[in-house]
Amino acid sequence: MGVIHSLYREPAKVEIDERTCKRCGQCTSICPGEVLTMKDGSVRIRGDSPFGCIACGHCMMVCPEDSVRVTGRGISPEDLLLMPSSEERATVDELGALMRARRSVRRFKEKEVEPELLDRIVDMAASGPMGIPPWDVGCVTVRGQDKVRELADEIIKGYEKFLKIFKPWVFTLMHPFVRQATYQRFKYFIRPLAETYVGCHHEGRDVLFYDAPAVMVFHYSPYADLADATIACVYAMLASESLGLGNTIIGGAAPILQRNKALCQRLGIPEGNTPAIALILGYPATKFRRAIRRSFAAVNTIC
């Protein structure tokens, strides 16, 4: 049994071509699963490693002789791509400028986002580091302002239900039994946010997805982690930024989606997966003229 994944249970299979292998040991030194080891000057495939091959593909990627084949768990040598040259890669200044210029955008032009751009963003986002390969994360792209609005309407209905149940006196009752920060978050953030979503919706304003022409919803399997989907979302955000699109991470959709199985099914989210975070995208109608310094709440170094 390998590391359990929603689609795979078995470890991947590693093969070494003994005829071409020069026994340089690079594959053995990089293997994170301790599957490949050097013994008596040869590469050995251990059958007793803790998880077996997790299909990270690192051994195939470092082998100077193309002597390693990894297959299974959704990977094969056909997945290998040419390594981008150093000229093709963003410099620290270019990446820093992209990050500094990025702002959350909540006003969009009345222009749809080309499907090819959305596909490219999904492709780029999948290159992020999401836990143990193969990524057990999914992405639903909702394309077109009308479809996004329909989804927003359904989510707002969930907030209407929430407001009916979580009346202010319910928080008062809950207060002694929950952490102070949880109580405060509910009372001073989550309930007012729900009221804002619902109130604006009645005025015909969408302050959940801001009438965006596209939204991506990232979800993760029970064998993955919230962080995996969040990383996918952040990669998609940076990819969309590099393509000249505006975007905002939206946390307000997932709590309702998580409680609406029928809606998840309609979105094609596999049963058992948890919707984690959304990203709205579109051509920005706002132009920011300045960047801003941001900082962490706490920074310390231990040496």
Ligand X SMILES: Cc1cc2nc3c(=O)[nH]c(=O)nc-3n(C[C@H](O)[C@H](O)[C@H](O)COP(=O)(O)O)c2cc1C
Q: Which residues contact ligand X by CB under 6 A?
A: 103-104, 106, 248-252, 277
**Cβ burial 257-266 (10 Å sphere, 16+ → b, else e):** bbebeebbee
Q: Which is nearer to ligand X, 71 or 104 (CB)?
A: 104
Q: Token pair of 257, please?
A: 């989606």
Burial (CB count <10 Å: 0-12, 13-18, 19+), residue 147:
middle
CA torsion sign for 63, 66, 72, 76 is positive
| Cβ nearer to ligand X, comparing 231 with 277 | 277
What is the nearest approach in angstroms of ligand X to the Cβ of residue 243? 17
Q: Please report how close the Cβ of residue 133 comes to ligand X at its closest, in angstroms.
A: 24
Residue 245, helix vs strand vs coil: coil
Least distance from C-beta 251 to ligand X, angstroms?
3
DSSP character for 181?
Answer: H
- Closest contact distance (angstroms) between CB of 112 and ligand X is 21
Q: Which residue is nearest to ligand X (CB)?
A: 251
Q: DSSP alpha helices (H): ranges in 57-144?
A: 58-62, 92-101, 115-125
Shortest distance (Å) from residue 253 CB to ligand X: 7
Sign of CA dihedral 90, 92, 95, 97: negative
To ligand X, the closest distance from the beta carbon of 294 in angstroms equals 6
The string of DSSP letters for 193-222 reads: HHHHHHHHHHTT--SSSTT-SEEEEEEE-T
Residue 30 burial by Cβ neighbours in a 10 Å radius (0-12, 13-18, 19+): middle
- Under 8 Å CB-to-CB from 223, ≥6 apart: which residues? 3, 4, 5, 6, 136
Shortest Å distance, C-beta 230 to ligand X: 7
User: DSSP characters for 218-237?
Assistant: EEE-TTS-HHHHHHHHHHHH
Q: Which is nearer to ligand X, 2 or 252 (CB)?
A: 252
Give the span between the Cα atoms of 91 and 118, in whole angstroms.
24
Residue 189 DSSP code: I
39 or 289, CB closer to ligand X? 289
CB of 150 to ligand X, least distance (A): 18
In the bound state with ligand X, the residue whose beta carbon lies nearer, of 19 and 290, is: 290
